[in-house]
A and B are shown apart, each in its own frame.
Chain A
Amino acid sequence: MKLSHAFRRIGVIFAKEAIDNLRDRRSIFTALTSTLIGPVLLLVMIVIVGRTFNQEGLTTSFRLPVIGAENATSLIAYLEQNGVKIVPGPANPQQAVKNGDEDLVLIIPEEYGEDFSQGLPATIQIVIDTSRQSSQPAIERIRQLLNTYSAQIASLRLLARGISPAVIQPLAVERVDMATPETQALIFLNILPYFVILVVFMGGMYVIIDTTAGERERNSLEPLLINPVPRWEMVIGKLVASWPFAVAALFINLLAFSLAFNYFPLEDYLGVQIQLDVRALTGIFFISLPMIVLASALQMIIATFTRSFKEAQTYVGFLPLIPALPGIGLAFLPIKPSLWTMLIPSFGQQILINQFLRSEPIAWGNVLISTLTTIVLSILLIFVAIRLYSSERILGSAK
């Protein structure tokens, strides 16, 4: 009998907060924009960075500024045979590379011909800037061409002296590159779990702040607390009111990602189309649900002891950065799912989301562990929130 009364009162609080916040443009606006940031940002990144990965452009029109091309006619001829378009180098090659006007400049000094014909190592210089990521493919390509040319000449010189070129090639290294265009493009997917976390935290954020710090700021908390409703029911009602907002945000977010991946012509930029199937999206959706509970409890605690809406907004706004940190690391250091990673709430989920994205086989034990630890931690945090809500200090500065 008692419990049904409790549920009814929680329902009253839930319904009021949900309706109240649905009428709040700010809540709706935040929930919606946060869902679209991820997909839009990812598309922009793919369009801009994707070209760097796309090697096709290089073979067709690869131009190389050369200073002193007349000093090494055979080398220049070799480069031209291999599709390099030789153009005269700039007057100040160092400055040109530094400014980014050129990816690299090849300098062939006057002594080159003399050293070359005497069989001495003939010095040539390439002026590059290794800190510029976009120059890397061009630099890599020209280095390969120069190495091949050098090796060819070396072989010819040995043959002329009656020695087999195999003598100076103790290792024959063969590259077996497993990277398919798909796996290269998947680098972009590494960042997706971070956006999912962001949405999980932002979706219900304003509802939590509005029903806690906002309630206090507009002086409606004290009269509310006089109603015959135990404090724990108030906390639960307010927490649960934020969930539909967060769930809706998550749903829209995944829908937007699915549209971006499945309908945007990614192939033009990445050379391959990434597919996000319904199974992966559904998996990600359900994996993320317990994190909504965790996020709302954390936000509730923070919003309970901040004095104003603004203050709460500031602190709560920083929250998604905490779970995001391991996620950002994940983009660079691939970590295998293991027990300890699953025991860290939000980290385990990010790894699982990654697995869903790559259509890797999912260990359901991992899903269970990460969901359970997240829920247990959430329950502990909800207890803390209820304790805070039950103390006299909840009225704060409101006089």
Chain B
Amino acid sequence: MIQVEHISKAFGAIQALDDISFQAPNGLITGLLGPNGAGKTTCLRILYTVLKADTGTARVDGFDTRRQILDVQQRIGVLPDSTGLYPRLTARENIRYYGNLHGHRGAPLEAKIDHLIKLLDMQDIADRRTEGFSTGQRVKVAIARALVHDPPNILLDEPTSGLDVMSTRAMRSFIRRLRDEGKCVLFTSHIMQEVAALCEQIIILNKGKVVASGAPEALLTETGRTNLEEAFVAAIGSSEGLE
């Protein structure tokens, strides 16, 4: 469960986020949709504690992202924009490192790693050093290490960027699977179709503000359009930044 209340963040003269509020409940997929530079990544970074909001509060399962950092970090699994791995460690060692950092060890951790490796269908690469992995392989490792501590809240920053069609489909069914397990899933995208295909709830960001939010059907009624893409364009006021 993620709650964002009146968050603002400025970098110098640039107002990246301007009084943002929304909620992402458990068991739902929430999509943060917006053109490039709308503030999606900044918003996620505040939620996963590497940035601090200037004003407003953000909570994960009731824990304040500014003051209860470790509690928040224990309850989130994040696929950030940068998914760098350690090239001299194998995929399994990369995942195990994150498990260890979360305080997990021994047989239960190894079982969890095996489970994730099977789930993400990466048995063939699990014990290879990650140097030279393809984007798809890297994302798999990054997802596995983000979920190794079984977090109830999952934040994904453009999870399908750079993936081919098959990997994108696999990613989508994986995200649905997480939702079915009752997790709170929040992901960002600038691709309309992706959000339409996955989300039960959409929050449209533009220039640091929430310009529309709700279930896809509700967005259609609200903007008086017949498809989501037009609703999106209507919401942000122009087709600038769309792909």
Name A residues whose Cβ lies closer than 8 Å to a Cβ of B: 5, 8-9, 12-13, 16, 19-20, 23-24, 215, 218-223, 225-230, 392, 395, 398-399
Q: Scoring B residues 48 to 75 as 1 if CB is less than 8 Å from chain A, else 0, what string do you get?
A: 1111100000000000000001100110
The answer on a CB contact under 8 Å between B50 and A222 is yes
Given A16-B97, A226-B50, A227-B98, check contact A220 B84 (CB 8 Å): yes
Q: With an 8 A cutoff between CB atoms, is B87 at the interface?
A: yes
User: Total interface residues on B, using CB and 8 Å?
Assistant: 31
* Complex A-B, nearest 7 residue pairs according to Cβ-Cβ distance, in ascending order: A219-B84, A220-B84, A219-B82, A228-B73, A227-B101, A12-B100, A23-B88
* Neighbour of B70 across the interface among A24, A228, A392, CB < 8 A: A228
Q: With an 8 A cutoff between CB atoms, is B80 at the interface?
A: yes
For A16, list chain B residues within 8 Å (CB): 86, 89, 97, 100
The answer on a CB contact under 8 Å between A223 and B89 is no
The answer on a CB contact under 8 Å between B102 and A227 is yes
The answer on a CB contact under 8 Å between B70 and A223 is no
In the bound assembly, the distance between CA atoms of A226 and B100 in angstroms comes to 14
Q: Scoring B residues 90 to 117 as 1 if CB is less than 8 Å from chain A, else 0, what string do you get?
A: 0000000110111100000000000000
Given A222-B80, A223-B146, A399-B81, check contact A228 B86 (CB 8 Å): no
The answer on a CB contact under 8 Å between A24 and B146 is no
For B70, list chain A residues within 8 Å (CB): 228, 230
For B97, list chain A residues within 8 Å (CB): 12, 16
Closest Cβ neighbor of B87 among chain A residues: A218
In the bound assembly, the distance between CA atoms of A222 and B73 in angstroms comes to 13
* Neighbour of A226 across the interface among B48, B84, B86, B103, CB < 8 A: B48
12 more contacts with CB within 8 A, not counting A12-B97, A219-B83, are A20-B88, A218-B85, A219-B82, A222-B80, A223-B142, A225-B49, A226-B48, A226-B80, A227-B98, A392-B50, A392-B51, A399-B41
For A222, list chain B residues within 8 Å (CB): 50, 80-82, 84
Residue of B41, B51, B52, B82 with highest tally of chain A CB at under 10 A: B82
The answer on a CB contact under 8 Å between B88 and A24 is yes
In the bound assembly, the distance between CA atoms of A107 and B64 in angstroms comes to 94
Looking at the assembled complex, report how far the CB atom of A292 sits from the nearest CB atom of chain B, in whole angstroms: 24
Closest Cβ neighbor of A237 among chain B residues: B101
Tell me the dominant secondary structure on chain B's binding face. Answer: loop
The answer on a CB contact under 8 Å between B81 and A226 is no
Q: Can you give 12 contacting A-B residue pairs, CB < 8 Å?
A: A8-B103, A12-B101, A13-B101, A220-B85, A221-B82, A223-B84, A226-B48, A226-B78, A227-B73, A227-B101, A228-B102, A230-B70
Name B residues whose Cβ lies closer than 8 Å to a Cβ of A: 41, 48-52, 69-70, 73-74, 76, 78, 80-89, 97-98, 100-103, 142, 145-146
For B52, list chain A residues within 8 Å (CB): 392
The answer on a CB contact under 8 Å between A228 and B78 is no
The answer on a CB contact under 8 Å between B101 and A20 is no
The answer on a CB contact under 8 Å between B81 and A228 is no
Given A5-B103, A219-B83, check contact A226 B88 (CB 8 Å): no
The answer on a CB contact under 8 Å between A9 and B101 is yes
Closest Cβ neighbor of B76 among chain A residues: A226
In the bound assembly, the distance between CA atoms of A276 and B70 in angstroms comes to 53
Looking at the assembled complex, report how far the CB atom of B157 sits from the nearest CB atom of chain A, in whole angstroms: 10
In the bound assembly, the distance between CA atoms of A215 and B86 in angstroms comes to 8
For A5, list chain B residues within 8 Å (CB): 103
For A20, list chain B residues within 8 Å (CB): 86, 88-89
In the bound assembly, the distance between CA atoms of A392 and B11 in angstroms comes to 11
Looking at the assembled complex, report how far the CB atom of B53 sits from the nearest CB atom of chain A, in whole angstroms: 11
For B49, list chain A residues within 8 Å (CB): 225-226
The answer on a CB contact under 8 Å between A223 and B101 is no
For B80, list chain A residues within 8 Å (CB): 222-223, 226
Looking at the assembled complex, report how far the CB atom of B222 sits from the nearest CB atom of chain A, in whole angstroms: 32
For A219, list chain B residues within 8 Å (CB): 82-84
For B48, list chain A residues within 8 Å (CB): 226
In the bound assembly, the distance between CA atoms of A227 and B104 in angstroms comes to 12
For A9, list chain B residues within 8 Å (CB): 101, 103
The answer on a CB contact under 8 Å between A221 and B84 is yes
The answer on a CB contact under 8 Å between A218 and B81 is no
In the bound assembly, the distance between CA atoms of A12 and B86 in angstroms comes to 15
Looking at the assembled complex, report how far the CB atom of A209 sits from the nearest CB atom of chain B, in whole angstroms: 15
The answer on a CB contact under 8 Å between B86 and A223 is no
In the bound assembly, the distance between CA atoms of A219 and B86 in angstroms comes to 9
For B87, list chain A residues within 8 Å (CB): 218
For A19, list chain B residues within 8 Å (CB): 89
In the bound assembly, the distance between CA atoms of A218 and B85 in angstroms comes to 7
Closest Cβ neighbor of A215 among chain B residues: B84
The answer on a CB contact under 8 Å between B82 and A229 is no
The answer on a CB contact under 8 Å between A398 and B82 is yes
For A225, list chain B residues within 8 Å (CB): 49-50
For B145, list chain A residues within 8 Å (CB): 223
For A218, list chain B residues within 8 Å (CB): 84-87
Closest Cβ neighbor of A12 among chain B residues: B100
Looking at the assembled complex, report how far the CB atom of A118 sits from the nearest CB atom of chain B, in whole angstroms: 89
For A228, list chain B residues within 8 Å (CB): 69-70, 73-74, 101-103
In the bound assembly, the distance between CA atoms of A170 and B146 in angstroms comes to 93
Closest Cβ neighbor of A230 among chain B residues: B70
* Neighbour of A395 across the interface among B50, B78, B85, B98, CB < 8 A: B50
For A12, list chain B residues within 8 Å (CB): 97, 100-101
For A399, list chain B residues within 8 Å (CB): 41, 81-82
Closest Cβ neighbor of B72 among chain A residues: A228
The answer on a CB contact under 8 Å between A226 and B82 is no
